[in-house]
Structure 1
Amino acid sequence: MATKVPRIKLGKQGLEVSAQGLGCMGMSAFYGPPKPDADMIKLIHHAVDSGITFLDTSDIYGPHTNEILVGKALKGGVREKVELATKFGIRVTDGNRDICGDPAYVRAACEASLKRLDIDCIDLYYQHRIDTRLPIEVTMGELKKLVEEGKIKYIGLSEASASTIRRAHAVHPITAVQLEWSLWSRDVEEEIIPTCRELGIGIVAYSPLGRGFLSLGPKLLDSLSNEDFRKYQPKLQPGNLEHNAKLYERVCEIAAKKGCTPSQLALAWVQHQGNDVCPIPGTTKIENLNQNIGALSVKLTPEDMAELESIASVDAVKGDRYGPGMSTWKTSDTPPLSSWKA
Structure 2
Amino acid sequence: MLGMFNWINDQMLKMKWLFELVEKLVENVFGLSMESKIGGSVHFFIYDTIKIFILLSVLIFLISYIQSYFPPERTKKILGRIRGIKGNIIGALLGTITPFCSCSSIPIFIGFTSAGLPIGVTFSFLISSPMVDLASLMLLMSFFGGKIAIAYVVVGVVLAVIGGAIIQKLNMEKYIEDYVWSVESADVELDELTRKDRVDFSRNQVRDIVGRVWPYILIGVGIGATIHNWIPQHVIEKILGENNPFSVLIATLIGIPIYADIFGTIPIAEALVAKGVGIGTVLSFMMAVTTLSLPSMIMLSKVVKPKLLMTFITIVTIGIIIIGYGFNAFSYIFL
More strand by share: 1
**TM-score w.r.t. length of structure 1:** 0.24
**Higher relative contact order at CA 8 Å, sep ≥6: structure 1 or structure 2?**
1
More helix by share: 2
